């Protein structure tokens, strides 16, 4: 799985990691985790009282490196919602949608930015886009997002299958546009008197910050094989950029002192968008993975395991004395 921003946010932060994960659990995590944080949409009134609401007159700082740029709610019967915002950062934009008060069906939507289709799928989604993805999208120039409800699906217990149904006449469509901020722009919480200690994880391969200089980069050699699972955490706000053989894979942002880790994985066979021109190394090849910290003022670590093919538990990396 490509763990970079480009589809549904996969950078949901998980508070605790079980000591042993099955391959099925790992697959579920991989489907949900990525390089950018997912924020749930704000609560809205019931559909029968929902009416179009204007975009915020001033962009609202919501934390976690995001700023709310536009918001609206319309009755789902309208089947479409349009928002205009002006990008103020080149870091990218999250477009979050949800269909509320809809029972027993999953509404399907299309998301278009400046007329370009960037997402099709479930209404409950958060899509990331950058200037490179959308022609004509640039700093200081108003951009338009249109979300269209195109249909719905319902599970049929008789046939044990999903069937297509019309868009419900009741319910509400809510859309939020979030601008990613640079670290310098973000509003950070007050540093606590005592920082939480890093977790003692059972991954045996990884890198950890230099106790005397948390801004010093670190590298580790690992085997490019199967799907690689990672766990990353930082005691303080900051960024950790992961690169393979000098090519950037992703940048993980930490915005608080809660020590909630990023947990995810990436498919080693796919270069994926935003991977700095990386050609996937040959399976079994030893590569150098580097972690470059920025802005951190405390300890951090990134640990790795492999998710082997088939319904088995995580295998132990060879350097730990096990077989994969």
Q: What does the pLDDT look like over 22-78, one tens digit per residue?
A: 222 222 222 332 333 323 233 333 333 333 334 443 445 566 788 899 999 999 999
In the chain, % of residues over pLDDT 70: 69
Mean pLDDT in the chain? Answer: 74
Give the phi and the psi of residue 78 in degrees, each rounded to 5. Answer: -70, -25
pLDDT of residue 201: 65
pLDDT of residue 213: 96
pLDDT of residue 141: 93
Q: What is the pLDDT of residues 127-141, one digit of tens each?
A: 888 887 887 888 999
pLDDT of residue 61: 56
Between 313 and 268, the more confident residue is 268
pLDDT of residue 130: 83
Strand-pair partners of 285: 224
Check if the beta carbon of residue 5 is closer than 8 Å to that of residue 12: no
pLDDT of residue 15: 26
Q: Is the model's pLDDT at 285 over the cut of 60?
A: yes
Degrees to nearest 5, angle at CA 255 with 19 and 219: 60
Give CA–CA dist 56/47, Å, rounded: 21
What pTM was estimated for this model as a whole?
0.61
pLDDT of residue 310: 42
Q: How many CB atoms lie within 10 A of CB 139?
A: 10
Give CA–CA dist 241/251, Å, rounded: 4
pLDDT of residue 51: 35
List domains and CATH numbers for the chain: 23-36+188-320 (2.60.120), 47-180 (2.60.120.1300)
pLDDT of residue 230: 84
Q: What's the rounded mean pLDDT across residues 70-88?
A: 95
Check if the beta carbon of residue 41 is closer than 8 Å to that of residue 147: no
Strand-pair partners of 207: 302
pLDDT of residue 284: 79
Between 239 and 185, the more confident residue is 239
Which region among 3-12, 64-73, 258-267 has the lowest average model confidence (pLDDT)? Answer: 3-12
Q: What's the rounded mean pLDDT across residues 261-279?
A: 63
pLDDT of residue 256: 92
Q: What is the pLDDT of residues 155-200, one digit of tens each?
A: 988 888 889 999 999 999 999 999 988 888 888 889 999 999 998 7
**Where does residue 252 rank: exposed (0-12), middle (13-18), buried (19+ CB within 10 A)?**
buried
Check if the beta carbon of residue 29 is closer than 8 Å to that of residue 263: yes
pLDDT of residue 269: 61
């Amino acid at each position: 799985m490509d763990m970079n921003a480009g589809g549904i946010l996969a950078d949901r932060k998980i508070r605790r990691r079980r000591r042993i994960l099955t391959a099925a659990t790992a697959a579920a995590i991989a489907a949900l985790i990525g390089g950018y944080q997912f924020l749930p949409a704000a609560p809205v009134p019931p559909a029968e009282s929902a009416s179009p609401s204007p975009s915020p007159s001033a962009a609202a700082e919501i934390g976690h490196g995001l700023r709310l740029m536009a918001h609206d709610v319309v009755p789902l019967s309208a089947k479409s919602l349009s928002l205009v915002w002006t990008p103020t950062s080149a870091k990218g934009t999250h477009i979050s949608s949800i269909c509320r008060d809809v029972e027993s069906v999953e509404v399907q939507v299309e998301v278009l930015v400046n007329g370009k289709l960037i997402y099709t799928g479930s209404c409950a989604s958060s899509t990331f886009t950058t200037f490179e993805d959308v022609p004509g999208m640039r700093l200081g120039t108003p951009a338009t997002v249109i979300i269209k409800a195109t249909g719905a699906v319902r599970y049929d217990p008789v046939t044990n299958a999903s069937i297509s149904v019309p868009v419900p006449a009741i319910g509400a469509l809510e859309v939020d546009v979030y601008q990613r901020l640079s670290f310098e722009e973000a509003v950070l919480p007050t540093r606590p008197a005592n920082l939480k200690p890093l977790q003692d994880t059972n991954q045996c391969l990884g890198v950890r910050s230099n106790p005397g200089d948390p801004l010093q980069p670190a590298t580790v050699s690992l085997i490019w094989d199967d799907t690689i699972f990672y766990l990353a955490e930082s005691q303080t706000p900051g960024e950790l950029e992961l690169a393979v053989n000098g090519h950037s894979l992703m940048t993980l942002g930490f915005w608080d002192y809660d020590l909630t880790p990023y947990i995810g994985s990436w498919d080693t066979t796919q270069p994926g968008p935003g991977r700095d021109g990386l050609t996937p190394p040959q399976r079994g090849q030893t590569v150098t993975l580097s972690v470059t910290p920025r802005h951190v003022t405390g300890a951090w670590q990134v640990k790795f395991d492999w998710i082997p093919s088939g319904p088995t538990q995580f295998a132990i990396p060879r350097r730990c004395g096990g077989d994969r």
